[in-house]
Amino acid sequence: DVKVTQSSRYLVKRTGEKVFLECVQDMDHENMFWYRQDPGLGLRLIYFSYDVKMKEKGDIPEGYSVSREKKERFSLILESASTNQTSMYLCASSSAGAAGANVLTFGAGSRLTVL
């Protein structure tokens, strides 16, 4: 069963801590994405990557960075966590390709609470 795995389902961190959210996919997908989901705001794209070592800013990149050293792994980094980064974080991947055949596959999500 192909899937996207987010290593941490629930995290509680303190303000100022460095936080790593890991995402691994086993579908050999080229594209990987990080979203955050908040009540009333929906899903918002933080960063995405079309290839190893490539990254592009999404709609809300401030306060975040990413790393993609291997094709299957895409990490989201909060250099200094703040309370307004308390949220559900969703990782997704898709294949590249023509004709828009790139259906997104999502992980189960990581719920981060920053105290």
Partner 1 sequence: KQEVTQIPAALSVPEGENLVLNCSFTDSAIYNLQWFRQDPGKGLTSLLLIQSSQREQTSGRLNASLDKSSGRSTLYIAASQPGDSATYLCAVKDGGSQGNLIFGKGTKLSVKP
Residues lying near partner 1 in the complex (CB under 8 A): 4, 40-43, 45, 48, 50, 58, 90, 92, 96-100, 102-109, 111
Task: Give the nearer residue to partner 1 in terms of CB position, either 51 or 79.
Answer: 51
Compute the half-sphere exposure of residue 30: CA atoms within 13 Å on the CB side of its CA.
Answer: 8
User: Least distance (Å) from partner 1 to the CB of residue 58?
Assistant: 7
Q: Tell how strand 105-106 and strand 42-49 pair up.
A: unpaired
Task: Give the nearer residue to partner 1 in terms of CB position, either 17 or 43.
Answer: 43
User: Least distance (Å) from partner 1 to the CB of residue 83?
Assistant: 21
User: Least distance (Å) from partner 1 to the CB of residue 75?
Assistant: 17
Name residues whose C-beta falls within 8 Å of residue 113's C-beta, 6 or more positions apart in sequence. Answer: 10, 11, 12, 13, 86
User: Least distance (Å) from partner 1 to the CB of residue 45?
Assistant: 6
- What's the length of the chain? 115
Task: Give the nearer residue to partner 1 in terms of CB position, either 69 or 98.
Answer: 98
Task: Give the nearer residue to partner 1 in terms of CB position, either 3 or 70.
Answer: 3
Residue 81, CA distances (Å) to 9, 55, 56 in order? 17, 21, 21
